Structure 1
Amino acid sequence: MPIFKLSTNLPAAKLPAGFLERSVDLVAKTLGKPKSYVVVQVLTDQLMNWGGSDGLCAVASVESIGALGRDVNKKHSKAIADHLQKELGIASDKCYINFVDLNKANCGYSGTTFDDLL
């Protein structure tokens, strides 16, 4: 049940067509999770400032049950940073990415939790 959340000061009008779908594909691939479980949420037009500059920037989080950890997060970070640079023009040094490894008993889905499903 990976969730990729992105908050950025990029104007909504500049979000490329198909960005959400390509982001779902990227997250599924890098985490090795089924595409059908991946959720991508993008909040554009956020009031943001990075180090005193109002240039293009973002903060992101990747939440997942498993598939995260010290060594693999470096791979995920690179894949996501490259994706944001290519798709949105957000430089890798203007985006923080938080990785959150979720407990399956604390994630509800379809009237139960992933503790019962996995």
Structure 2
Amino acid sequence: MPYLRLETNVPQEKIPKDFPATLCGVLAKSLGKPINYCCASVTGGVNLSWGGTDAPAAQATLMSIGALGVDQNKKHSKALYQTITQALGISADRMYISFVDAPTSAVGYNGTTFHDIFGG
């Protein structure tokens, strides 16, 4: 159920094809979730300006049911920043990550919600 959405002005052709799979591995390890539930999308070539320039930058949203919080987000942030900045050449001070701790009733899966899957 963890989902990372990354948008960047780095051109799509400069983003490794397997980068979403790499991010799924980082998510699974950092969040302690099964990789088969992890999802990541990377959209390059976004018309994005940071501080009024078009130098490489990104924004990301990480949604998860649980495994997020004050201390956990520091760990997730570190792991994601290391992976993203290294792979895409983005300076760490040119990216934000928003963390969304979703309730089980707000995430659909396999024709129902995790609220029903986890037994409400």
Deviates more, 1:16-25 or 1:49-58: 16-25
Task: Kindly indicate whether the alpha-carbon contact (under 8 Å) linking 1:81 and 1:91 is maintained by their aligned counterparts in 2.
Answer: no
Q: Distance in 2 between matches of 1:50 and 1:95?
A: 9
Q: Distance in 1 between matches of 2:79 and 2:6?
A: 14
SS of residue matched to 1:49: coil
Aligned residue for 1:36? 36
Q: Distance in 2 between matches of 1:38 and 1:32?
A: 10
Q: Distance in 1 between matches of 2:92 and 2:80?
A: 9
Gaps of 5+ in 2: none
Taking the TM superposition and a 5 Å limit, the aligned residue runs for 1:26-65 are 26-65=26-65
Aligned residue for 1:69? 69
- Stretches (4+) displaced over 4 A: none
* Structure 1 position 65, deviation (Å): 0.2
The code of the aligned residue for 1:24 comes to C
Deviations 1:17-38 (A, max 9, x none): 3211111100111111010001
The code of the aligned residue for 1:19 comes to F
Q: Distance in 2 between matches of 1:17 and 1:100?
A: 26
Aligned residue for 1:100? 100
Deviations 1:16-64 (A, max 9, x none): 2321111110011111101000111111110011111110000001000
Deviations 1:57-101 (A, max 9, x none): 000010000000011101111111111111111111100000000
- Aligned-pair identity (%): 45
- TM-score computed with the length of structure 2 as normaliser: 0.95
Q: Distance in 2 between matches of 1:68 and 1:97?
A: 12
SS of residue matched to 2:59: strand
Task: Kindly indicate whether the alpha-carbon contact (under 8 Å) linking 1:81 and 1:92 is maintained by their aligned counterparts in 2.
Answer: yes
